[in-house]
Amino acid sequence: MIIVMRPHASDEEIEAVTALIAAMRLASHVSRGSERTIVGVVGVSEDKETLLAQFAQLDGVESVVPISRSYKLVSREARSERTVVRLKNGAAFGSRELAVCAGPCSVESREQIDATAVAVVRAGANLLRGGAFKPRTSPYAFQGLGEEGLKYLREAADRTGLAVVTEVLDTRDVALVARYADMLQIGARNMQNFGLLREVGAARKPVLLKRGLSATIEEWLMAAEYVYAAGSHDIVLCERGIRSFDPQTRNLLDLAAVPVLLSLTHLPVIVDPSHGTGVRSLVMPMSFAAVAAGADGLLVEVHPNPAAAFSDGPQSLTLQNFSDLMARLAPIADAVGRSLPAPALAA
Amino acid sequence: MIIVMRPHASDEEIEAVTALIAAMRLASHVSRGSERTIVGVVGVSEDKETLLAQFAQLDGVESVVPISRSYKLVSREARSERTVVRLKNGAAFGSRELAVCAGPCSVESREQIDATAVAVVRAGANLLRGGAFKPRTSPYAFQGLGEEGLKYLREAADRTGLAVVTEVLDTRDVALVARYADMLQIGARNMQNFGLLREVGAARKPVLLKRGLSATIEEWLMAAEYVYAAGSHDIVLCERGIRSFDPQTRNLLDLAAVPVLLSLTHLPVIVDPSHGTGVRSLVMPMSFAAVAAGADGLLVEVHPNPAAAFSDGPQSLTLQNFSDLMARLAPIADAVGRSLPAPALAA
Amino acid sequence: MIIVMRPHASDEEIEAVTALIAAMRLASHVSRGSERTIVGVVGVSEDKETLLAQFAQLDGVESVVPISRSYKLVSREARSERTVVRLKNGAAFGSRELAVCAGPCSVESREQIDATAVAVVRAGANLLRGGAFKPRTSPYAFQGLGEEGLKYLREAADRTGLAVVTEVLDTRDVALVARYADMLQIGARNMQNFGLLREVGAARKPVLLKRGLSATIEEWLMAAEYVYAAGSHDIVLCERGIRSFDPQTRNLLDLAAVPVLLSLTHLPVIVDPSHGTGVRSLVMPMSFAAVAAGADGLLVEVHPNPAAAFSDGPQSLTLQNFSDLMARLAPIADAVGRSLPAPALAA
Amino acid sequence: MIIVMRPHASDEEIEAVTALIAAMRLASHVSRGSERTIVGVVGVSEDKETLLAQFAQLDGVESVVPISRSYKLVSREARSERTVVRLKNGAAFGSRELAVCAGPCSVESREQIDATAVAVVRAGANLLRGGAFKPRTSPYAFQGLGEEGLKYLREAADRTGLAVVTEVLDTRDVALVARYADMLQIGARNMQNFGLLREVGAARKPVLLKRGLSATIEEWLMAAEYVYAAGSHDIVLCERGIRSFDPQTRNLLDLAAVPVLLSLTHLPVIVDPSHGTGVRSLVMPMSFAAVAAGADGLLVEVHPNPAAAFSDGPQSLTLQNFSDLMARLAPIADAVGRSLPAPALAA
């Protein structure tokens, strides 16, 4: 941590800073420049925020600059190899093969899930997504089928060899969802629901952690750190667009986050172009771009009849759209040294 | 709802739209302009999002424009008078008198809370704030004293006549926090934790609902609608700054949200200039500005010794700062037809 | 400037950094921590950006932290007293008295300007605003009356004792506008039109510099530095809202920028609540809030008949609205130790 | 245009709206719903903003919804085929072949430009970029070599067969820059410098129009409309990142803008991953992603010695980096049905 003093800070002010450092049993280096004096602090403990708070308000201090990153366990420095998250059905995030999760926004009926599962596995997906518990902006909107939806997902996945990824919204539902799902999804709105992060981490299942709607990459990695510290080390990060000012798209898909994350963490990174744009016609080009940028996989909304979807119809691909997407994705994956998933294996 | 067709949409496309409207048992008006045709839909049900989804993807449709607002119960149209939220100790949000909530970010010890309570009640506050359960970006940061912290708050409040407002983070803790607090706070990170909104609403205690970090005003009112629909009608909205691009301040305090909300909802609105700026020296001018803009009260971080605070020290006022703030606030309140709180009444 | 090395940077990498510092004839301090090494650079020249560029790309460097601010002449450190910008008619920005600029978005006719000038001077304004050259998003929108508009402004101002502030858009028009205006306005879209900043600075007239639509406060002060360095020292900064994500208001008025600027620069700061919100009913509460926050004045759109305005009608006050605003503003100004302008003096 | 009345708007209020529509000699349709009345306006003139202004402020009006787009000439509806912008050296934007512009941020010397030109043409670029007039945030930063820089660019291009694209900052310099350049660049900071847009359009040279730092896509297309209406129809749009909240990257590259634009306009679209990220290591993955998303070309900063660059060193590729980028880009271009530029032809 570096403490930058104001121009003309007095000797007393500088001494107050070094005295506080000493009182915390830390070491300091004082460096007097022509304009400003700078105090380096060595041996800073974990709880950076608190330390920053204490120094920033001393007289004569202009700013406090953190040097160490706040996340430790998920940082690239913490692990020499990239994490590969492998599921029982052979799906892998972070390997040469891409992971492709496809399915509807909401589980609506057994027929809908079955039809989707059969079609997406045929097109080359290896995970089935679908929400049984739905976070909806309006209390009057469809909130999901709950456990019934989880059963439909499990059954469809077992028949097709797909793995199930589905969202959990409430700490009280973690055990229930974990009974049915292969991978627990934490949605954008819950990225800083810290109790949920801990509970999901403690379930020791693979986790799909979506980026919060206006989360910085550092905050996102801190959320991953919560899950990791709580026990689950199989965490996949999912970029799904952030809030911006242009109403042309639902969110602003931040594809540069993919290579940024690959440089900061050992965890795999996938992209959700459906929520990331909110517009069906943009899902295909953004899927191509995501894979070209280095993503380890995709999460795509697919629905047998988007016009009748209970939620997110306008951004859902039809089964045919998805099949086309996968066909056209193959040469792009190949061009960047990746491949589409190997066929999923039915149980 | 209005459906705008693309230029040169075919008659078949327009008919497909009106047919779907009819299939939903709604009425339509078709209006053919020189450039575009527009279809109005009358009698739209509650679940607007789903409807939007269905129309937006029909061939020939350019955009779907919602007309009715999604929030109903909290809208100004729903209630002819403004809601005044009154607590047992006489504090009121939405009356001529302002409500002033003051206290530390985190409850750290009995001594800290007692000293703060005595000082803020003397300076003119009528609610005591303080976090016993803390949402922290880092898993390694201080997470709060839990129930012990709630006890300290309750005791300090009972001695001084202050009411207690404190945050609840997890659906499983609502009953516990409700035993000690007069008002349940939902923090910015949980504004769309819909399970928590429902659980807090069902507790039928007064609720302080903070704006999410990048929530639109409409989304915020939808969150209030969740709480209201679940049973609690005593909801106070708290503007606390939104995310923006300039690192000069921690958040960007959106004071225009105050008069905007007063025009859209019957619920009272207060402002948190501490989180809204993150900088101690900005708390006083922004408190003045908030009251001048029409806010029904303030939520201010105050700490007996900010330099030793476990969290948010740089934005906390000292006890003396807070006393100065209240003294200088009185003439501004008076200039806009408001007054400082009447003295709180010890139990 | 501080150069933060990556964890485990090699000695060679650190030496490459210190060698480059030495090659630039600057001094360095190396500080080796348990985790990272930090190199301080002393005596950094003006052109900070270039220096940052050079170090940031050396092997082993994690980040480069600027310490000195980029603006010099406009910083508070550069001048012990606050700048007061005084115009010939007695209007002053930065004194105890507020400056109040009022008038239409566009100059539309002699009658419109005359009627506005008479009304706003009676209500207590001391500057007349109005655009003769209009920056319009659409090439098909009204672009202003040009020199004819400047004449109307000058004549109306001379008859009423108001000073004229009006926008200049093009380097080729600076001399023309300066012949008619008392104060040259640089609009938000031109805040980084550096040729225009220099040309306006060279005209040595008082300047009203609006904040760019998404400018940081530092970038804004750098724009002021351009004007100052080019010769004009009478610069007033005008906060007018920044771009954000909520469509409820046209822009997001950043009132915390007022006290932030008062701490960073000696220049006066005013607020434009008309562009800052885009909504007539919000202009009055935001004017109150601006003055309560410490602003040195206001810039308000006023039109004799907003419903017939060529531009910005929805955010323009009527003459009666403006008169009400001024009447209700007086006690708020008084409450924060300020006063409304003294009556303008007719020529 | 659609005018949405408030719930319970009176008949008089609705009549005032239809009367104003009639007074403008436009036709209206009134549609009374259960909750609200909606008035459609047919035959709206070009100057949408003014019209919106007039209706939005009538009593009883809740909102005014524009239906027609503001841009006409550049919209896809205006032209059945996509525009292909062809330069004399054979470079084309919008054809199957990509256009690749490469070169330094600033022209620093004849040697620097010559070395860059020789290397980038060999690697497969077909345009040479470089700034002779530089917009710099600081008045103390290097402002460019001016006409001398233009000469170096021209000479290097003539020797190598590259075309020259370079920025013009001031209306007074358009003729000068047009003498040397094949394509005039309008930078992000000048996207709404409307005088410059008109002057550049009148020069009838091909134009590269960068997106403003926080411009919506609609505002950007309106800027293109200015250029188009002024006479130049050979306009290329360049996405270069927008302002956002995460300091990890200099800007947030909005790649979804590429397919969005391809659906809205007939003009070609390229991407600048150098300014779009500000980080050298992100330029290659974002170049791949841009082409995968459907971009018609790239604008990349390349410098023979980035560590000594006068500006933008940290985001500049070395000559070797650029050569690697082109080699790895070829199969990705191929996978989406595009190809790298044909070799440039020396004069």
pLDDT on residue A47: 58
Q: Domain A2-65, what fold?
A: Alpha-Beta Plaits (3.30.70)
Q: Which residues of C touch D59 (CB under 8 A)?
A: none
> Contact B21/B30 with Cβ under 8 angstroms?
no
* Distance linking the first and last C-alpha atoms of chain D: 53
CA dist., res. C287 & res. C329, Å (int):
8
Which residue has tokens 């923006």?
B244
Q: Do B214 and C245 touch (CB under 8 A)?
A: yes
Chain B residues 211-240 with a CB less than 8 Å from chain A = 213-214, 219, 222, 225-226, 229-230
pLDDT in tens, D255-264: 999 999 999 9
CA dist., res. B43 & res. D136, Å (int):
56
CA dist., res. B99 & res. B295, Å (int):
9
| Structure token pair of residue C271 | 């607020």
Confidence of residue A42 (pLDDT cuts 50, 70, 90): low
Say if residue D48's pLDDT is above 70. Answer: no
Confidence of residue B309 (pLDDT cuts 50, 70, 90): confident
Which residue has tokens 């190899």?
A81
> Contact C261/C255 with Cβ under 8 angstroms?
no
Any B CB within 8 A of A137 CB: yes
Q: DSSP secondary-structure letter at C337?
A: T
Non-local (6+) Cβ contacts of A111 within 8 A are none
- The residue of D2, D6, D44 whose CB has the most chain B CBs within 10 angstroms, and thus the best one to mutate to test that interface, is D2
Compute the nearest-CA separation of A261 from chain D (Å): 10
CA dist., res. B318 & res. B313, Å (int):
10
pLDDT on residue D250: 92
How high does pLDDT run on average in chain D? 91
Average pLDDT over residues C144-163: 96
Confidence of residue D346 (pLDDT cuts 50, 70, 90): low
> Contact B174/B200 with Cβ under 8 angstroms?
yes
pLDDT in tens, A57-69: 778 888 787 766 7
The CATH code of the domain at C76-335 is: 3.20.20.70
Compute the nearest-CA separation of D206 from chain B (Å): 29
pLDDT in tens, D107-141: 999 999 999 999 999 999 999 999 999 888 888 88
Nearest to D328, CA basis, from A335, A100, C307: A335
> Which subunits count as partners of chain B given 3+ CB pairs below 8 Å?
A, C, D
pLDDT in tens, D284-297: 999 999 999 999 99
CA dist., res. B284 & res. C263, Å (int):
14
pLDDT in tens, B223-280: 999 999 999 999 999 999 999 999 889 999 999 999 999 999 999 999 999 999 999 9
Q: Do B141 and A47 touch (CB under 8 A)?
A: yes
Average pLDDT over residues C142-146: 89
Q: Do B259 and C276 touch (CB under 8 A)?
A: no
* Candidates C52, C171, C189; nearest CB to D192: C189
pLDDT on residue A347: 45
> Contact A222/A70 with Cβ under 8 angstroms?
yes
CA dist., res. D179 & res. B310, Å (int):
64
- The residue of B170, B218, B251 whose CB has the most chain A CBs within 10 angstroms, and thus the best one to mutate to test that interface, is B170
Instruction: Enter the pTM of the model.
Output: 0.90
Any D CB within 8 A of B256 CB: no
Q: What is the DSSP string of B115-152?
A: HHHHHHHHHT--EEE-BSS---SSTTS----THHHHHH
Strand ranges (E), C241-321: 269-271, 297-301
Any A CB within 8 A of B89 CB: no
Confidence of residue C174 (pLDDT cuts 50, 70, 90): very high
Question: Is the pLDDT higher at B252 or at B23?
Answer: B252
| Structure token pair of residue C186 | 């640089």
Q: Do A67 and C31 touch (CB under 8 A)?
A: no
Question: Is the pLDDT higher at D174 or at A344?
Answer: D174
* D258: nearest CA partner in chain A: A285
pLDDT in tens, D1-10: 778 888 788 8
Q: Which residues of A touch C1 (CB under 8 A)?
A: none
Q: Do B67 and D7 touch (CB under 8 A)?
A: no
> Contact C332/C291 with Cβ under 8 angstroms?
yes
- What separation in angstroms does the CA of A155 have from each of A150, A159, A161? 9, 6, 10
pLDDT on residue C208: 98
> Which subunits count as partners of chain C given 3+ CB pairs below 8 Å?
A, B, D
* Candidates C2, C35, C43; nearest CB to A2: C2
pLDDT on residue B42: 67
User: C77: how many CB neighbours lie within 10 A of its CB?
Assistant: 15
Any C CB within 8 A of D49 CB: yes
Any C CB within 8 A of A65 CB: yes
* Distance linking the first and last C-alpha atoms of chain C: 53
Say if residue B41's pLDDT is above 80. Answer: no
Which sequence spans correspond to the domains of chain D? 2-65, 76-335
Chain D residues 281-320 with a CB less than 8 Å from chain A = 281-282, 285-286, 288-294
pLDDT on residue B342: 86
Strand ranges (E), C6-60: 27-32, 37-42
pLDDT in tens, D313-324: 778 999 999 999
pLDDT in tens, A160-188: 999 999 999 999 999 999 999 999 999 99
Q: What is the DSSP string of B278-318?
A: --HHHHHHHHHHHHHTT-SEEEEEB-S-GGG-SS-GGGPBP
CA D110 to chain centre: 28
